Chains A and B, each alone.
Chain A
Amino acid sequence: MSRIGVFTCHCGENINGTVDCGKVAESARGVPGVVHSVDYKYMCSDPGQSLIKEAIREHRLTGVVVAACSPRMHEPTFRNAVAEAGLNPYLCEMANLREHCSWVHEKGEATTAKAADLVRVMVEKVKHDQPLQPIRVPVTKRALVLGGGIAGIQAALDIANAGHKVVLVEKSPSIGGHMSQLSETFPTLDCSQCILTPRMVEAARHPNITLYTYAELEKLEGFIGNFKATIRRKARSLDEKLCTGCGLCTTKCPNKKIKDEFNEGLATRGAIYVPFPQAVPNKPVIDKLNCTYYKTGKCKLCEKVCPTGAIRFDQEDELVTLDVGAIVLATGFKLMKTDQFPEYGYGKYKDVVDGMQFERLASASGPTAGAMKRPSDGKAPETVVFVACSGSRDRSKGVPYCSKVCCMYTAKHAMLYKHKMHHGKAYVFYMDIRSSGKDYDEFVRRAIEEDDVSYIRGRVSRIYEEDGQLIVQGADTLQNGRPVEIKADLVVLATAVQAQDGSEALAQKLHVSYDPYHFFAEAHPKLKPVETNTAGIFLAGACQAPRDIPETVAQASGAAAKVAGLFSRDELTREPVVAVVNRLPAPTFSYCVGCFLCQSACPYQAIEQEQIKARDGSVIRTLAKVNAGLCQGCGTCVATCRTKAIDIQGFSNEQIFAEIMTL
């Protein structure tokens, strides 16, 4: 005998402003099986919840329907309240009168009638509800951090210091990321590598951190607390145990013409190389695409000179499988290159460089040892033009967003240039100055007031080269759009911050959402900035959106805190809304005929095969079996099953049809 309680919420005016909640409560009283029906202003509040709990005890309710907002909002709230009153929480359902009714219709009788129908349907469902128990799964207390820039390093250190194991995976041969390429950082003008390398070394030495460099994620399976990750450790062509990092091989490599990625193409490296002197690990790697031996079978000079015989040309990639409980995505960003600008020369002018290239020119470890020398002829540039907003805030280039960091680093670049060349002239073409962090605006004012950097408000229409100089055609909109033409020796484009190459593919591997620009999507823009919609996967740094270093470090620590929170429990509870294949006594065993259409349909690989065996060990039947740990309750298998042998707990076929028939 059903004894169901219906609780209709006004949600302030959100529902009651459009739906007559009193009428809804009254019509619910007339539904067979309903023994108690009330309405109240805020059901989710303490007194509201008490109403429900008292009613359960007083009227000996066997089921509860809360007609209110979306279950995505408050289902956990009401289920907890119901559990506290001693009723199985899965006997509590919500009818969505807000998102499905009051928010999408005009006030009127038809709307109230619809609300009453929604309630009636839910009552029908609850009548067929079974009490369910949550599923418990163990948590693997090891984290996987993808990306070894400042975000990944910070997250790894924080998780490791909380006492948990971390595997840090980095695609390039060394950790450090873009921060290691910077010359100085705003707003303090700290030497970037000086503040970064101690962290890099700490991460490499930390007993809880395993570092895999020159490695990438190959595959990911599983779910929160129970992921299985396969990492591909690319072959360095080196026995790391024997290599001492002496660097002799890198000096002897005859192939010296390869464009150096760390120096953004402004210098060259050999085929066997260490990306930069402070690399961690400080062990070289052979670039197989450009190495003479791998291409033609000749050379092997590095092998000959290596004092410890560490070179291994026959080394293969290694696949490592790991069990991890949580993943932190910290794969960073890429900077748009100058070849994306037709009006600035399609990247063919050597003296038109992007922000990162200027960092390398200014850096003491760069191709010019920090002296201001322009790439084309090595002459000191007497006039430098910095073009802010290059490619950002630009619908026509497909990048309508602001890249956040360029206003600050442009001011920094202009200051660095002026500090190195006191008599040089620096101009910045800008649209707005976005300097909202702590000490940021003062930093920009310093460039203008103390270092005599000339700021011109206007965009640059065209840059071309004539007589060894770059003609920059801009405008000064603060002088009514007056055209301004400057002959520069060097032009620095503050190009747009974009998502890292391969972000889309990685997101799909991880089943993580991403936005149209391939930045990974946070679970909620305001309140959940470090989580994704995929449970157990967290975000840190510029892979989510353009971001400066202080914010990246803060976000990385935030992600680490979430991971530590997850690892503070030994077990995770999962919703029992999962698929189940029915089981009957012998000789039927089940309606399942073993066609396994469900197995091919399941997007989560949650269906396995189970053999029913006779006493002598021979197989009588092979049936489908659902792995409750992997099942997400999507229902695809239920729709596919021809014999209706598989069903979802809490959303059974019987329940759905009962709901439909009552309408």
Chain B
Amino acid sequence: MRIGYYPGCSLLGSSREFDESTRAVAEAIGLELVTVPDWNCCGASSAHVLDHQLSLALPARILALAEAAGLTELLAPCAACYNRLCSARTELEADPAAREAISRIIELPYQGRVKVVNILEVLDRCQDRLKAKATAPLGRKVACYYGCLLVRPPRVVAFDRPEDPMSMDRLMVLAGAEPLAWNHKTECCGAAFSVTRTDLVARMSGRIVAGAAKAGAEAIVVACPMCHSNLDMRRPECNALLQADHQLPVLFITQALGLAMGLDPVRLGLQRHMVPALLQPAAAGAKA
């Protein structure tokens, strides 16, 4: 089984552990990841704020390169990249004139034949293989946090329901964990305001951390590097605003699944987190 792979900029840098754990899990279940050759940044939150055409061109170049490489599907683990790729693809699908215009801008033929999928979709497809390999059930209570871009806008991403989604929760059941029902699954963490309005991130991410803790979670599971960064790297700011000391770790879904498959925590990048996350499966008896 093979699939096109678009890591995106954060997976090479500040969320390197997401890339590491995705590759580790993929290898364990026999999924070959074919990276798009010479891929560029998708534009993330910044391109669409500055220029609409640019926000279409950058993802279009990626999809055109993927198509030229003979790929039919592209996995983008980063929720922001996934959302930008889907948005661009949806907008260009509706308008042949726009496709022509964008092909001229990116100097590559854009046909729109490559489908874009997110990490939860791909993992869901590989359920049986995951189940077979999940030999070390996590046995922990977790709060699955989806954030905004994986589930909205529903017509563009169209894969799980926009309110109270359950795809990540089902994967955590596979991993032998107990996903909790809680109220902040899809509330925004503060997104790109991490640097420019850290005060807002502290409030918004703080609310999410506090909500997860209140529901009894021992960890928060995410599938977006930006959410991870806001909930993990910005934890001191959150705790300061909340006047609390929440230490529950934030794991990427692939890290949680990797642990349940008995993979080495270091290989999954768990030592890279700001909030200590070297969580042992409960069955082992040791705590984080």
Contact = CB atoms under 8 A, between A and B. Distances in A.
Tell me, yes or no, whether A and B come into direct contact in the complex with CB atoms closer than 8 A: yes
Interface of A: 342-343, 345-346, 462, 464-466, 471
Nearest to B211: A466
Contacts of B162: 342
B164 A342 contact: yes
B216 to A, nearest CB: 14
Nearest to B215: A466
Interface in B164-189: 164, 183
B161 interface: yes
A466 B162 CA distance: 20
Contacts of A343: 163
Contacts of B161: 342
A345 B161 CA distance: 12
A295 to B, nearest CB: 32
A466 B183 contact: yes
Interface in B149-169: 161-164
Closest A-B pairs by Cβ, 6 of them = A342-B163, A464-B183, A343-B163, A466-B183, A342-B161, A346-B164
A465 B214 CA distance: 13
A272 B161 CA distance: 39
A365 B164 CA distance: 36
A contacts with B: majority SS: strand
Nearest to A348: B164
Given A345-B164, A471-B183, 7 more contacts: A342-B161, A342-B163, A343-B163, A346-B163, A346-B164, A462-B163, A464-B183
Contacts of A462: 163
A465 B182 CA distance: 9
Contacts of B183: 464-466, 471
Contacts of B163: 342-343, 346, 462
Interface string B56-80: 0000000000000000000000000
Contacts of A466: 183
A345 B183 CA distance: 10
13 contacts: A342-B161, A342-B162, A342-B163, A342-B164, A343-B163, A345-B164, A346-B163, A346-B164, A462-B163, A464-B183, A465-B183, A466-B183, A471-B183
Interface string B121-158: 00000000000000000000000000000000000000
A464 B161 CA distance: 16
B155 to A, nearest CB: 10
B125 to A, nearest CB: 24
A462 B163 CA distance: 10
B287 to A, nearest CB: 28
A555 B162 CA distance: 42
Contacts of A464: 183
Contacts of B164: 342, 345-346
A464 B183 CA distance: 7
A345 B185 CA distance: 13
A470 to B, nearest CB: 11
A342 B162 CA distance: 8
A462 B164 CA distance: 12
A350 to B, nearest CB: 14
Central interface residue in A342, A343, A465, by most chain B CB within 10 Å? A342
A512 B71 CA distance: 52
A122 B161 CA distance: 61
Nearest to B184: A464
B156 to A, nearest CB: 14
Interface in B67-100: none
Nearest to A344: B163
Contacts of A342: 161-164
Nearest to A343: B163
A339 to B, nearest CB: 12
Nearest to A465: B183
A464 B162 CA distance: 15
Contacts of A465: 183
Nearest to A467: B214
